[in-house]
Amino acid sequence: MNILITGGAGFLGARLARALLASGSLSLRGAPARPIQQVVLADRGPAPADLAADPRVRSVQGDLIELVQRRDLPAAGTDLVFHLAAAVSAECEADFDLGMRSNLDTTRALLDACRALGSTPVFVFASSLAVFGQQPGQPPLGTMRDDTLPTPQGSYGIQKFICEQLVADYTRKGFIAGRSVRPMTVAVRPGRPNGAASGFFSGMIREPLAGERARIPVAPDTPVALASPTRTIEGFVRAAQASDADWGQRTGINLPSLKTTVGEMAAALEKVAGPQATALLDWQPDPAVDKLVRSWPGDVAWDRARSLGLRNDASFEAIVREYIEENPQAVRLALR
């Protein structure tokens, strides 16, 4: 089996690659599992050293839309594409053309290239919770279900929803076997902040644990739907494995969600690392970030994901402890 991961050198892409390579084989669309022969990691930067050292990994660097338009990707014989590469929320609001090129134009080009393969590859598209949004002047968002009509309130969410529809139509036409999944806000991400408006959800945990100050641009009562990296990767993989009958309709599905608030996240941090950690949190509202984040749902149902055997995180405290276990070198505070 040959697999392409766009955004493969990023945090989630690299983590997905490690999970696939560790398993050694994979079932596609309910078929018997086959050995994984090659994983192509496409990104602007190089693959992490551990992945580059694996003989089953090929790193392809460059601008994704240019690589696809030259037909460098996907290679003939590609069975499965995980399309994770994207410009993130704040970037898309700041630069409309960047978002359209990186998200919409690149996805359309990749879908056309998959169509040209003539082999109906499985195409797992990482959409976003941002396809849902609070419309101005309308009642507050309730529970967002798999079949709730998306009403995105930012360019990023709009681009992701358009791409969901493209994936559905290319699937309907038999060009690909598309699976659109909507990950929750992923926390806690290691490393430095990215350009996502949701980046502070990780920063408010990661930075204090490292002994650094962190700014929180929203109020403590801000609701959020979260998932750990582990649960998110499980969702990507299960989407590729599910048979057509188990997957059901072609529309996107919500991945498992942990419902919490920013204040409860801070409380979990204090439970793990004490008041010395929460003393490093600076509650400094940013109206622009607050408006965008509050337009996203904090209550997300995930019935279809549950029917596929997926599960959510037990608690945010468990997510924080998982981050600490996986990144001990990044923790400077004494823990409880």
pLDDT tens-place string over residues 17-57: 999 999 999 999 999 999 999 999 999 999 999 999 999 99
Return mean pLDDT, the chain: 95
CATH code for the structural domain at 197-224+258-298+314-330: 3.90.25.10
**pLDDT by residue (tens digit) across 64-75?**
999 999 999 999
Per-residue pLDDT reduced to its tens digit, 155-172: 999 999 999 999 999 999
pLDDT score of 86: 96
State the pLDDT at residue 232. 98
**What's the rounded mean pLDDT across residues 181-199?**
86
Q: What integer is the mean pLDDT of 243-270?
A: 97
Phi, psi of 262 (to 5 degrees): -65, -40
| Range(s) of the chain covered by CATH 3.90.25.10 | 197-224+258-298+314-330
Question: Could you report the per-residue pLDDT of 209-244, keeping only the tens digit for each?
Answer: 999 999 999 999 999 999 999 999 999 999 999 999
Between residues 270 and 139, the one the model is more confident about: 270
Checking if the pLDDT of 194 tops 90, the result is no
Residue 140: band (very low, low, confident or very high) from pLDDT cuts 50, 70, 90 = confident
pLDDT bin (cut points 50, 70, 90) of residue 196 is confident
Asked whether residue 148 carries a pLDDT value surpassing 90, the answer given is: yes
Is a pLDDT exceeding 90 seen at residue 134? no
Q: Name the pTM for this structure.
A: 0.94
In this prediction, residue 197 carries a pLDDT of 74
What would the two tokens of residue 82 be? 């995980």
pLDDT grade, residue 268 (50/70/90)?
very high
Asked if residue 300 has pLDDT above 80, the reply is yes
Ranges in the chain annotated CATH 3.40.50.720 = 2-186+226-254
Are 224 and 202 in contact by the 8 Å Cβ rule? The answer is: no
SS (H, E, C) 190-206: CCCCCCCHHHHHHHHHH
Q: Which two tokens stand for residue 239?
A: 């989407």
**Given this model, what pLDDT does residue 195 score?**
64
Q: Which of 160, 130, 70, 156 is nearest to 300 (CA)?
A: 130
pLDDT at residue number 296 = 83
Residue with tokens 């969702």: 235
Catalytic (active-site) positions: 156
CB under 8 Å, gap of 24 or more: what pairs does 14-23 form? 14/41, 14/47, 14/48, 14/51, 15/229, 15/233, 16/82, 16/84, 16/233, 16/236, 16/237, 17/41, 17/47, 17/51, 17/57, 18/50, 18/51, 19/233, 19/237, 20/237, 21/51, 21/54, 21/56, 21/57
pLDDT at 317: 97
Residue 179: closest CA among 91, 114, 225, 92 = 114
Q: Choose the weakest-confidence range: 17-31, 103-117, 172-186, 282-296.
A: 282-296
Residue type present at position 40: V
- Indicate if the pLDDT at residue 321 is higher than 70: yes
Q: Candidates 3.10.110.10, 3.30.70.890, 3.50.50.60, 3.40.50.720; correct CATH number of 2-186+226-254?
A: 3.40.50.720
Q: Is the pLDDT of residue 336 over 80?
A: no
Position 150 pLDDT exceeds 90: yes
Kindly state the average pLDDT of the residues 172-188: 97
* Cα→Cα distances 326→201, 267, 329, Å: 18, 21, 9
Predicted confidence at residue 62, as pLDDT, reads 97
Predicted confidence at residue 320, as pLDDT, reads 97
